[in-house]
A and B are shown apart, each in its own frame.
Chain A
C-alpha cells in the first residue's frame, strides 16, 4: 500500500505545475488547461486525505469540484470565443480593457 503522503506530494507538484502554466503561457486556452491541472491536483489531495481519515466525504467533495470545473470550462471557453470574435487575436497580454 502506497502511503497517502506520496499522493499528497504528487498533488503538490501537480498544482505547482498548473501555477507555472498559468504564469508562463500566453495562450488563454493553455492557461485554462493549466487551471484544470490545478483542480485535478486538489481532487487528488482530497481523495488521498479522505482515504487517510477513513471516510468517503473527500470523494463527495471531489464530485462537487468536478461539477464546478465543468461549469467553469464551459463559461470560460465561451468568453474566450467571444473575445476572439471581437479581436481576432488570442493573447492574454493584449486584453487590457478592464485595466485601471
Chain B
C-alpha cells in the first residue's frame, strides 16, 4: 500500500518536473511546479514528516507559487523563447551531460550512508519534535533566519522601488 502511494507520488513528481522543463509557456510551468511541490508534500507525509508537509503546502505551494504566478502576470512573458536559439548546440549538449551528472549523483548517494540496517524506530515528525529541535539545538540559526527574511524584505523593496 505504501509502495503504491510512493509510486504514484514519484510519477507525479517526475512528470510535473518534465512538464515544467518542456512546456514553453511559463504559466503552465508554474502550474506544473505547484503539482510538483504538492507531490513532494505527499512524499513528506509518507516519510512521517507531517509538519514539513504542512509547511511545504503553505510556504511553497502557497506563497512561492503565488509569487511566481504574480511575477508572470506582471511580466507577461512568452515571446522570449520563440526566436532562433544562438546557443542551440550547447543546449543540446546539456541533455547527455545532465544524464551523466544524474548517474554520478546516484553513484555518490548509493555509496553514502544507506548501507547497514536501519534504525527502525519511527522518527517523530510532528510539530513537537521539530519545534523542540528548532528552539534548543538550532536556536541560533533559527534567529538568523529571521534576520535573513528581514534582509530579503528590505532588499526587495529597495530593488523594486521606482526612482522618483
Contacts and interface: CB of A to CB of B under 8 A. Distances in A.
Interface of A: 1-2, 4-10, 12-21, 23-27, 29-30, 32-34, 36-37, 40, 43-45, 47-57, 59-60, 62-64, 66-75, 77-82, 84, 89-91, 93
Contacts of A56: 123-125, 129-130, 133
B82 to A, nearest CB: 10
A77 B49 CA distance: 29
Contacts of A30: 20-21, 26, 29
B106 A12 contact: yes
Interface of B: 2-3, 6, 10, 13-14, 17-18, 20-21, 26, 29-30, 33, 36-37, 40, 43-44, 46-49, 51-52, 55-56, 59-60, 63-64, 67-68, 71-72, 74-75, 77, 80-81, 85-87, 91, 94-95, 97-99, 101-102, 105-106, 109-110, 112-114, 118-121, 123-125, 129-130, 133-134, 137-138, 141-142, 145, 148-149, 151-153, 155-156, 159-160
The interface residues of chain A, by DSSP majority, are classed as helix
A93 B125 contact: no
Contacts of A62: 49, 52
B60 A66 contact: yes
Contacts of A4: 114, 118
A63 B130 contact: yes
Given A51-B123, A67-B145, 14 more contacts: A2-B3, A2-B46, A4-B118, A8-B109, A10-B10, A16-B98, A29-B26, A40-B40, A43-B52, A52-B113, A52-B118, A74-B152, A78-B159, A90-B75
